[in-house]
């Protein structure tokens, strides 16, 4: 007698195993299909809301940094302009002293 299992028997065992697995899954499932779909949809909405909130917070933080940067650049521009004007004034004064 041969101890090998034929292809037909392997297919039968596979189908029986799939059937038993599906039946077990249906009997032991914590939720029905509709409940599971609602649960997944709810979690997807929660994820979308979270990402939207994080995006708004990031945008607000970025805008804050942009405004701070603009203020800093304006301050630096004013300082450079004042230094330039002081240099021009000192040049004029020295030029006037040289004429005298």
Measure the CA dihedral 27/32/33/39, to 10°.
-130
Assigned domain for 2 exists:
no
50, part of any domain: yes
User: d(Cα 73, Cα 78) in Å, to the nearest integer?
Assistant: 9
Residue 1 lies in a domain: no
How many domains is the chain built from? 1
Q: Is residue 79 part of a domain?
A: yes
- Answer yes or no: are the C-beta atoms of 93 and 85 closer than 8 Å: no
* Measured distance CA(85)–CA(98) in Å, rounded: 20
Give the DSSP H/E element, type plus range, for residue 20.
Answer: helix 7-28
Tokens of 19: 């059937």
Q: Considering the domain boundaries, does residue 69 fall inside one?
A: yes
Which residue positions in the chain have pLDDT lower than 50? 1
Assigned domain for 29 exists: yes
Residues 49-76 have pLDDT tens digits of 999 999 999 999 999 999 999 999 999 9
pTM to 2 decimals? 0.48
Domain that holds residue 55: 7-99
What confidence score (pLDDT) does residue 3 get? Answer: 59
């Amino acid at each position: 007698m041969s101890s090998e299992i034929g292809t037909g028997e392997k297919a039968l065992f596979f189908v029986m195993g799939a059937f038993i697995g599906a039946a077990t899954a249906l009997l032991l499932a914590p939720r029905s299909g509709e409940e599971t779909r609602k649960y997944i949809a709810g979690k997807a909405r929660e994820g979308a809301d979270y990402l939207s909130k994080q995006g708004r917070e990031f945008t607000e933080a970025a805008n804050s940094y942009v405004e701070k940067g603009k203020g800093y650049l304006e301050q630096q521009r004013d300082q450079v302009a004042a230094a330039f004007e002081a240099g021009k004034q000192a040049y004029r004064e020295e030029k006037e002293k040289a004429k005298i």
